[in-house]
Amino acid sequence: MNGRSAQSQRKVEPMNGRVRDGVVKRGSRWSYVIRVVDPATGRSRPKWVGGFSSEAAAKAARDDARVTARRGEYVDKDGVTVRGYLLEWLETHAGSVKPKTLAGYRYNLEHWVIPHIGGQRLQGLRPAAISKLYRDLAASGGRGGRPLSARSVEAIHRTLRKALNDAVHVERLITSNPAERAKRPRAARREVVRVWNVEQLGTFLATAQTHRLYAFYRLAAYTGARRGELLYLRWSDLAMDECEVTITGSAAVVEGQRIEGTTKGDRSRVVSVDAGTVAILREHRARQVAERLKAGSLWTDTGGHVFVTETGKPLSPDTASQLMPKLVSTAGVPHARLHDLRHLHATTLLLAGVPVHVVAARLGHADASVTLRVYAHVLRQDTVDIGNVFATAVSAC
């Protein structure tokens, strides 16, 4: 390289500590400086912002800052706290995500994150501080100072990581996401336990048959649908002659209020049912008609829900869950949750040899990888003797 080329190279790469067009390299990081008018005095003053990993990133941020400064809209990022940013982030998501999702975000941030690190400067937030937060929660963050489960800490991490990703890519308040490099407790391996066998399910359903909500538990067991999806069902979603149920939405309780929205994956799906289940649904409809006549003017028609109270109001999700253990106790079968009916449906199909992608579509999973991850142990049970099956087939030739 000749002397002239070397001189040109020095002009492209500013020396450490020397400002070139508002950008300077200090050590391994880059910073920029702009002039910002103080609204109180009307005087301009220099404003430094640092921590950029490259000259290009510093220049891009400098250009954005110059535009907002000229408009009088410049925000002093140094003064933004974790608490201030997260509360504003929650407000921006109101109306753009499902109410239940927003409630989860709000609980994770307001209950766990903000009380611990909310006072820190957003730009000064480091992975070590977030790692310490996770350790503290895992050690004594639960009720009464008990440990918080790794699953709960993981949920908190997902929310915080999402919020800070927006701080990087949308708001451009920070240059990198410290939650990405934070260390969190290792989550225990989740493995679905098959609580009942099909005989125990039959015993439970025989007991539930005496209750007006028998059809709910039958449909839960025979479709694998989620609680909220069943409580959202309208009679118009049931094509009984075709033995099909279309699942189009979900119901939930948020801050004590029953709300309705889309399914977990925001997709509707059609689930086939057997003739026996269709007959039970027809009986349930006839019972509902009789209840409507008995209630008379007290009946509340809210849009043709399949599962309602004796006066027509949509059934609360808690009602179905709280009734389950009473029926289980009467049936004399091992304790099980309502959601275990969904797991029983899935494991029974998988053990019967139904392809994973078919089970995934029936359950409403985004793709078969979700089903594989949740029910991997079931598939392992079913593949123990595959080596012998192959050997037997070859030796028979």
| 255 against 342, higher pLDDT | 342
pLDDT (mean) for 72-96: 83
**11-25, 162-176, 205-219, 298-312: which has the highest mean pLDDT?**
205-219
What's CA 227's distance to the chain center, in Å?
Answer: 16
One-letter amino acid at 274 equals D
The length of the chain is: 397
Q: pLDDT tens digit string along 234-276?
A: 999 999 999 999 999 999 888 788 889 889 888 999 999 999 9
The answer to whether 216 touches 320, Cβ cutoff 8 Å, is yes
According to the model, what pLDDT value does residue 4 have? Answer: 45
According to the model, what pLDDT value does residue 12 have? Answer: 41
Cα separation of 377 and 282, whole Å? 37
361: CB partners within 8 A, 6+ apart? 269
Cα separation of 312 and 321, whole Å? 19
386: β partners: none
Tell whether the model's pLDDT for residue 381 goes beyond 80.
no
Q: Any idea what DSSP says for residue 235?
A: G
Tell me, yes or no, if the pTM score tops 0.85.
Answer: no
Please give the CATH superfamily to which domain 198-382 belongs. Answer: Intergrase catalytic core (1.10.443.10)
According to the model, what pLDDT value does residue 97 have? Answer: 85
Give the burial class of 242: count Cβ atoms within 10 A of its Cβ; 0-12 exposed, 13-18 middle, 19 or more buried. exposed
Within the chain, all domains assigned CATH 1.10.443.10 are found at 198-382
According to the model, what pLDDT value does residue 223 have? Answer: 97
Q: Which CATH number fits domain 82-181: 1.10.150.130, 3.30.420.140, 1.20.1440.60, 3.40.50.1370?
A: 1.10.150.130
Cα separation of 190 and 343, whole Å? 13
% helix / strand / coil in the chain, to the nearest 5?
55, 15, 35
Which of 73-77, 184-188, 313-317, 342-346 comes out lowest in average pLDDT?
A: 73-77
Q: Any idea what DSSP says for residue 121?
A: B
Token pair for 296:
């008379």
The answer to whether 152 touches 116, Cβ cutoff 8 Å, is no
Cα separation of 130 and 120, whole Å? 11
| 189 against 6, higher pLDDT | 189
Within the chain, all domains assigned CATH 1.10.150.130 are found at 82-181
Share of the chain above pLDDT 90, in %: 55
